[in-house]
Amino acid sequence: MALINPSGQVLGLLVVLSCKPLRQPSLAEAMLRIFATRALAELERTQAEQKLQLQHRRSQLFAEVTLKIRQSLQLDDILQTAVTEVQNILQADRVLIYQLWSDGTGRGVAEAVLPGLPPVLGYQFSEEVFPEDYRQLYQQGRVRVIADVQQANETISPCLVQFVQQFQVRAKLVVPILIKEQLWGLLIAHQCTAPRQWTDFESNLLQQLADQIGIALTQAQLLEQEVRQHQELARSNAELQQFAYIASHDLQEPLRMISSYLQLLERRYKNHLDADANDFIAYAVDGANRMKTLIDDLLAYSRVGTRGKPFERVDCTTLMKEAIANLQIAIKEKQAVITWNDLPEVMADPTQLTQLFQNLIGNAIKFHNCACPSVHITAQRQAEQWLFSVKDNGIGIDPQYAERIFVIFQRLHNRSEYAGNGIGLSICKKIVERHEGQIWVESVPGNGSNFCFTIPERDRRSN
């Protein structure tokens, strides 16, 4: 009696053999039907359990391999981990990843192979091995399952026949690796000792893993692109800083000569020329002085990244007092009041940290329209960093310009209102970034500004 499931599939036969004629054939047939029904139910239950176990096993293996693949963002590590893990799961003689290039050629880029078998790693394939129609099928997600390559020679290109003979391939399973729906390469399993019947379980698992390899490769490529861009930006910034330093340094001597002769003209011929000539000379002297200030500022800006000193344990209160001493003329002229709380010791470049305090306090004094400017400096410990605050009662800043003010040569006011070249805050930002901190401003127009910056807490070994 056939055991047929509801979908019409024959699962088996229930057979009863007897050496004697049955006394009650109808009763025997009825009992046989009962047994057949129970046997069919048991078979279906067993098959369902096996299917669930396979699904669970596949999910478990998939999760384990995916985790290992994603533990690295290095392209070579991802590929090698993938082939090694797939070989362990399938117990295949060889597993390789083949990368296809735009011209139709390709190369084996990662491989796990049993000892004694010829390696495919680094082997470059000609365009004829994978013709255009093959690539189109793989592009569409086709999986190629060949249990015996000797029986499939008619469906394999002649070049590939030569390849399977050279590398002793008897059976193979091939799934495409797609990146952004474009064919990147192939994940291939080889059996070399004998033909092999690849199961649906193995084929499905390999497809899932190929999808994860594609995702991991995408992430690795994005990381490599970001690293290259970062390196290029760092190189460009270093070249720009070096150029700014050299250009500014080389401009000093001719500018000094121009300025000296202009001042000599002003002193010697001031009363011997008409009013227009005196004005022209005065404009030239003023322009030369502003150019000197600009060059000095450019040099200071470039030195932050190229002439910095090693970090050392410094007392911020001492450095802040040095900055105030450097600003004594402006403080007395504006009758400014500078106050502060206890400031910590940090690992920093003392010269640059002094300059940071000096620039921020100097700006607080300069950008003012009241009779008595006041500036208060504080520091607060936050987890693994110190948060510094330089707060004033000045003119304030519109929040829409909160980032622009830290860009070099960006000014919010005319020189007739407030002197300067728009470099001071960009120097502050560069100093803070060199110390791996952040700087920002909190302000409302007319209500003063609070410039905040962070300095990480380091031990004495850090630099």
pLDDT tens-digit map of 172-207: 999 999 988 889 999 999 999 899 999 888 888 888
Does 438 score more than 90 pLDDT?
yes
Which residues lie across from 346 on neighbouring strands? 314
If you ran DSSP here, which 8-state letter would residue 311 be given? P
The per-residue pLDDT of the chain, averaged, comes to 81
Q: How confident is the model at residue 69 (pLDDT cuts 50, 70, 90)?
A: low
Q: How far is CA 190 from CA 2, 90, 117, 126, in A?
A: 39, 10, 11, 20
Listed in sequence order, the DSSP H helices in 169-199 are: none
Query: Which has the higher per-residue pLDDT, 253 or 196?
Result: 196
Element (H, E) at 124: strand 124-125
The Cα-based distances of 403 to 142, 315, 399 in angstroms read 52, 29, 8
Contact 215, 181 (CB under 8 A): no
Spatial CB neighbours of 272, under 8 Å, sequence gap ≥ 6? none
CB contact set of 235 (below 8 Å; sequence gap of 6+): none
pLDDT of residue 129: 66
pLDDT, position 323: 93
Query: Looking at residue 461, what is its pLDDT?
Result: 44
SS3 category, 450: strand
Token pair for residue 78? 């991802």
- Distance, in Å, from the CA atom of 377 to the CA atom of 361, rounded to the nearest integer, reads 9
User: With bands split at pLDDT 50, 70 and 90, how would you rate the model's confidence at 320?
Assistant: very high
pLDDT at 134: 78
Beta bridge partners of 439: 453
Q: Name the most confidently modeled range: 274-278, 385-389, 446-450.
A: 385-389
Residue 460: predicted pLDDT: 53
Quick one: what percent of the chain has pLDDT higher than 90? 26
**Segment among 212-216, 307-311, 340-344, 440-444 with least mean pLDDT:** 307-311
Residue 328's pLDDT band (cuts 50, 70, 90): very high
Q: Average pLDDT for residues 84-108, to the nearest whole number?
A: 87
Does the pLDDT of residue 225 top 60, yes or no? yes
pLDDT-derived band of residue 378, with 50, 70 and 90 as boundaries? very high
Has residue 338 got a pLDDT over 50?
Answer: yes
Ranges of beta strands (E only) in 161-287 are 171-179, 182-191
Query: What does the pLDDT read at residue 404?
Result: 83
Q: What pLDDT is recorded for position 324?
A: 94
The answer to whether residue 463 scores a pLDDT higher than 60 is: no
The highest-confidence range among 13-22, 60-69, 140-149, 365-374, by mean pLDDT, is: 140-149
* Residue among 342, 317, 293, 310 nearest 461 (CA): 310
Rounded Cα distance between 286 and 275, Å, is 16
Residues 6+ apart with CB under 8 A from 286: none
In this predicted structure, what is the pLDDT of residue 419? Answer: 54
> Dmax of the chain from CA atoms?
150
Residue 47 has pLDDT above 80, yes or no: no
Distance from C-alpha of 171 to C-alpha of 189, rounded to nearest angstrom: 8
Which range is most confident: 182-196, 212-226, 235-249, 395-409? 182-196
Question: Is residue 98 scored above 50 in pLDDT?
Answer: yes
- Judged against a pLDDT cut of 70, whether residue 77 lies above it is answered with yes
DSSP-assigned letter for residue 123: P
Does residue 416 have a pLDDT over 60? no
Once rounded to an integer, what is the mean pLDDT over residues 60-79? 71
DSSP 384-432: TEEEEEEEE-SS---GGGTTGGGSTT--SS-TTTS---S-HHHHHHHHH
On the question of pLDDT at 427 being above 60, the answer is yes
Q: What is the dihedral of CA 106, 112, 116, 121, to 10 degrees?
A: 20
The pTM for the full model equals 0.47
What number is the average pLDDT over the span 279-297? Answer: 78
pLDDT of residue 215 exceeding 50, the answer is yes
Res. 388: pLDDT tops 90:
yes
pLDDT for 317 beyond 80: yes
Backbone torsions φ then ψ of 190, nearest 5 degrees: -115, 140
| Contact between 237 and 305 (Cβ < 8 Å) | yes
Residue from 288, 451, 281 nearest 358 by CA: 451
pLDDT at 71: 67
DSSP 128: G
245 band by pLDDT with thresholds 50, 70 and 90: low
